[in-house]
Amino acid sequence: MNPLVSIIILNWNGWQDTLECLESLYQIDYPNYHVILVDNHSQDQSLEKIREYCQGKITTESKFYTYHPENKPITITELTNQEVQEQVNDIEILNNHLTLIKNDRNYGFAAGNNIAIKYTRKAHNPDYILLLNNDTVVDPEFLTKLIQAAKKDPYIGILAPLIYYYDYDGSQEVVANLGGKVNIKKYPGYYDLTEISSLEDYPENIIECDWVSGAALLLKSKLPIMQLNDDLFFGCEDIDLALKLKEYGYKSVVVLDSFIWHKEAVSRKKRSSGGAKRALMEIRSNLTFLKAHNNHYYPYLPLYLLQIFVLYFKIIIKRN
């Protein structure tokens, strides 16, 4: 019997990316999964386009797959975020079904996912929950490989695939994320393993690390913590969760024979890419994360502020 996996995708004004992601998911070889799409109160045509895709009225194009019209229509159950708190969905779970949760406002990454996590644990009681970014495309075997690795060690709590850039100067074979390490003494408190190593440095199929990317994060459903920290509206939710579970003895790993492609995987390595407002939101989340995990946060705060200044000063100089 294959364990049931609930796959949660968050959408906010990004229906084109979401449809490409969905089509890749509905072509995977894993036989027992359910897709839950959470719309964070999009103001574009997302809801309409998602419905049309499920009806087979919209095709998707991608360099990673050929569109399959034969798996349409995809049935949809639509619920508001209030309804998912009040009722349990007792429909039969099918691979070609989509549960669409319509939030009444943009709750951000953490709270938006938490709504779906709480709902699916109550409604479907899955063995695993996968958080997947809407701007990803998955390999057909990615979930099978993750589940195979998860079964091998009861102390593995969080798993992630190897993440490639969706397009890096025309290449789809450039590694974007191998997992990461934490260094609380230096802002922002974490770094990517790709910053200090390459894929060739890891001969084994599994890399144990401090955290894995929330772009594709598989959780065993019976972990002591199953909610993301919604104080972190703009990043670090995945790192925060991994560190908290590590205190309970659970490991975070990247499975190298499971892989996906991510359009925005470069985001953690870019600072202030969206202007001053984005930079301030990122700084706020990073400092909130550091405060939660550094018992000596206030003595370190002047150092963090100096490191922030130097970081963004270098960015400004480089741009000019």
**Per-residue pLDDT averaged across 154-180, rounded?**
96
71 and 213 together in one domain: yes
For the chain, the average pLDDT equals 92
User: Does any domain span residue 231?
Assistant: yes
The whole-number average pLDDT for the span 233-239 is: 87
User: Looking at residues 53-81, what average pLDDT do you find?
Assistant: 95
Which tokens in the block code for residue 162? 């190897």
What's residue 318's pLDDT? 82
Q: Which domain holds residue 308?
A: 276-319
Give the residue among 150, 155, 178 at the shortest CA–CA distance from 259: 178
Q: Would you say residue 246 lies in a domain?
A: yes
Q: What's residue 265's pLDDT? A: 45
pLDDT at 271 over 50: no
Determine the pLDDT at residue 269: 44
The yes-or-no verdict on residue 268 having pLDDT over 60 is: no
Task: Indicate if 247 and 287 belong to the same structural domain.
Answer: no
pTM of the model: 0.93
Name residue 277's amino acid.
K
Do residues 251 and 281 both lie within one domain? no
9 and 66 within one domain: yes
More confident residue, 280 or 267: 280
Whether 274 shows a pLDDT value over 70: the answer reads: no
Confidence band, pLDDT 50/70/90 cuts, at residue 51 = very high
What is the pLDDT at residue 250? 98
Residue 161 preceded by cis peptide, ω within 30:
no
Distance CA 320, CA 315 (A): 9
Q: For residues 148 and 83, state if they share a domain.
A: yes
Look at residue 199 and tell me if it is in a domain. no
> What pLDDT score was predicted for residue 92?
60
Q: What pLDDT does residue 87 have?
A: 63
Residue 135 neighbours by CB under 8 Å, 6+ apart: 14, 17, 21, 166, 262, 263, 264
Both 148 and 285 in a single domain? no
Question: Higher-confidence residue: 274 or 246?
Answer: 246
pLDDT of 267 > 70? The answer is no
Residue linked to tokens 């690390």 = 209
Q: Report if residue 198 sits inside a domain.
A: no
Task: Domain count for the chain, please give it.
Answer: 2
pLDDT band at 61 (very low <50, low <70, confident <90, very high): very high
* 234 shares its domain with 290: no
Q: Would the pLDDT of 24 be above 50?
A: yes
What was the pLDDT predicted at 125? Answer: 93
Match 């089509």 to its residue by tokens: 23
- Asked if the structure places residue 173 within a domain, the reply is no
Contacts for 191 with CB less than 8 Å, ≥ 6 apart = 180, 181, 183
pLDDT tens digits, 110-129: 999 999 999 999 999 999 99
Quick check: 89 pLDDT over 70?
no
- Establish if 184 belongs to a structural domain: no
Q: For residue 13, what pLDDT band results from cuts at 50, 70 and 90? A: very high
**What sections of the chain are H helices per DSSP?**
15-25, 46-55, 83-86, 108-123, 142-151, 237-246, 276-293, 297-319
Identify whether 217 is part of a domain: yes
Percent of the chain with pLDDT over 90: 85
pLDDT value, residue 113: 96
Same domain, 31 and 92: yes
Same domain, 226 and 291: no
Q: Are residues 150 and 287 in the same domain?
A: no
Q: What CATH number did the domain enclosing 236 receive?
A: 3.90.550.10
Query: Higher model confidence: residue 144 or residue 277?
Result: 144
What pLDDT sits at residue 45? 94
Taking 80 as the threshold, does the pLDDT of residue 191 lie above it?
A: yes
CB 91 within 8 A of CB 100: no
User: Is residue 172 domain-resident?
Assistant: no
Confidence band for 86, pLDDT divided at 50, 70 and 90: confident
Instruction: Give yes or no: residues 52 and 81 share one domain.
Output: yes
Judge if 39 and 138 occupy the same domain. yes
The position carrying tokens 């990454």 is 109
Contact 131, 221 (CB under 8 A): no
Kindly state the average pLDDT of the residues 55-68: 96
